[in-house]
Each structure stands twice: as structure tokens, then as C-alpha cells.
Amino acid sequence: MKHHTEYLWFNTRQERDYVRITDEIAAAVKASGVHEGMVLVSAMHITAGVYVNDAEDGLIADIDEWLEKLAPSGRDYRHHRTGETNGDAHLKNLLIGHEVILPITKGALDLGPWQQVYYAEFDGRRKKRVVVKVLGE
């Protein structure tokens, strides 16, 4: 079994941002030499996430609005009693998820026609990373 690990680093200018990372994941798969297998893409921070969906600006705005409605910023969350102010970002992470596992077929990322991989930042303006772990034959 082959394995390959890469890290993607982010430092977004906005507190909340959605960054398309499909090309970076595809490049990691190619670099791995894995022909058949899977790739794990996981945000290594509890205030960020990774998801798969369409790369359409209206949908991204809808996702952001949906997350903000379910876990609004500016509320006085119990988590803030620790001195932090990012309780909503932790909850948004739980809603969107922190990782995805994607198939590799014939040496390439095997996504549907509209599927794209995104890094979702909910507490930005500081350095964070995503681990990309490729496994297979």
C-alpha cells in the first residue's frame, strides 16, 4: 500500500471564507502515485471545515447564510466564558464537518460532474492547515 501526506496552509483575510481546494487535492493525488484508493482531506482546526459541493457563488452565499442562521455570530455563547469569542465558529464546524474522504480511480480524483472540494474558514485571519492523506495501491 502506498501513502502520501501533504499540508495545505491558509490565512484568510476574512473571518469567514470558502476556498476551493480541488486542484490542490488533485495535485496531491497525482504526486502520491496512487492508482486506486482514497484521499482524506481534514481541517486540523476546530473552527474550520472541509466539504464537497458545487462551485457556484450563489450556493456558497446560501451555505454561509444557512450556517450563520443556525450558529449566529455575536451571540453570548457559553464558550465565551473561557475568554474566547468564537463560539459560533465551533458550531459551524460541527454543521459543515471537518473532513471528507474522496475516491481515487485510475490515478485521479474521482468526483461527480459538479463536485468541488472546499476549505471553509469560520474564524480566520490566522494561520491554519489542512492535512491531505492519500492511501491506496
The confidence band for 73, taking pLDDT boundaries of 50, 70 and 90, is very high
Class of domain 2-136: mainly beta
Residue spans of the domains in the chain: they are: 2-136
Cα separation, 11 vs 80, in Å, equals 23
pLDDT of residue 64: 98
Spatial distance between the Cα atoms of 58 and 54, rounded to a whole number of angstroms: 10
At 68, the amino acid letter reads: E
pTM of the shown model = 0.96
How many other CB atoms are found less than 10 A from the CB of residue 120? 24
Residue 25: φ, ψ to 5°: -70, -45
pLDDT digits (tens, 9 = 90+) for 24-58: 999 999 999 999 999 999 999 999 999 999 999 99
